[in-house]
């Protein structure tokens, strides 16, 4: 049942990702509605990699992190989006998003196992930046409910994809593959950081 749901989310993310390869937070035009909100996170590689990495790391850590991290991220991300909708500024959003890819990638690459509350706090901290970036795209005066629901659902799907991929962790070759994937996410995060500060 879980795997079927993860595969459906993966298909939806893939189809949505084909529509744009730009960074999610440079989207143009009115960002409103459920579909636009859903497409927003999956249209930016920086968001996609960080959110999939949350699922990968949760899969590596096992229960209860495998469900706690993918629940923490969207909940706190919604708070970040709400702050953006209220017009509350958050400095360094681009840097925070890049740092999330770097640190989450390194956590997967090194199979880091800090206490669960540290994992949840780290994931929640980065979720604020991702949520703020999404929320900032909604034009003033428009209802953000469907848009917010869309980007929260898309985020959950990306986490599910990470968890589904992370299931290979149970085999020795899969553990190596996940560590390589984590290194790739970290390197991509360095590129995003270079773009953010360049």
Q: pLDDT tens for residues 72-119?
A: 999 999 999 999 988 899 999 999 999 999 999 999 999 999 999 999
- What DSSP designation does 112 have? -
Q: What is the mean pLDDT of the chain?
A: 83
Confidence check: pLDDT of 12 > 60: no
pLDDT digits (tens, 9 = 90+) for 55-72: 999 999 999 999 999 999
Residue in 122, 125, 39 with CA at minimum distance from that of residue 76: 125
Look-up of token digits 């500060």:
197
Which 3 state secondary structure label does DSSP give 113? coil
Contact predicate 60/169, CB 8 Å: yes
pTM beyond cutoff 0.85: no
Give the pair of three-digit tokens for residue 131. 């949520």
């Amino acid at each position: 049942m879980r795997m079927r749901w993860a595969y459906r989310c993966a298909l939806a993310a893939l189809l949505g990702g084909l529509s744009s390869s730009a960074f999610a937070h440079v989207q143009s035009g009115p960002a409103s509605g459920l579909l636009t909100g859903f497409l927003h996170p999956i249209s930016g590689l920086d968001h996609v990699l960080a959110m999939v990495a949350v699922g990968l790391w949760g899969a590596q850590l096992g229960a209860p992190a495998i469900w706690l991290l993918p629940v923490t991220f969207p909940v706190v991300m919604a708070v970040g989006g709400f702050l953006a909708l209220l017009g509350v500024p958050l400095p360094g959003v681009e840097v925070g998003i890049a740092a999330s890819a770097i640190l989450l990638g390194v956590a997967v690459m090194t199979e880091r196992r800090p206490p669960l509350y540290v994992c949840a706090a780290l994931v929640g901290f980065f979720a604020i930046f991702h949520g703020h970036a999404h929320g900032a795209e909604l034009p003033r005066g428009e209802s953000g409910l469907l848009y917010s629901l869309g980007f929260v659902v898309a985020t959950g799907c990306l986490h599910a994809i990470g968890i589904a991929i992370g299931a290979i962790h149970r085999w020795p070759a899969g553990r190596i593959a996940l560590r390589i994937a984590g290194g790739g996410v970290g390197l991509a995060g360095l590129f995003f950081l270079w773009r953010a500060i360049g």
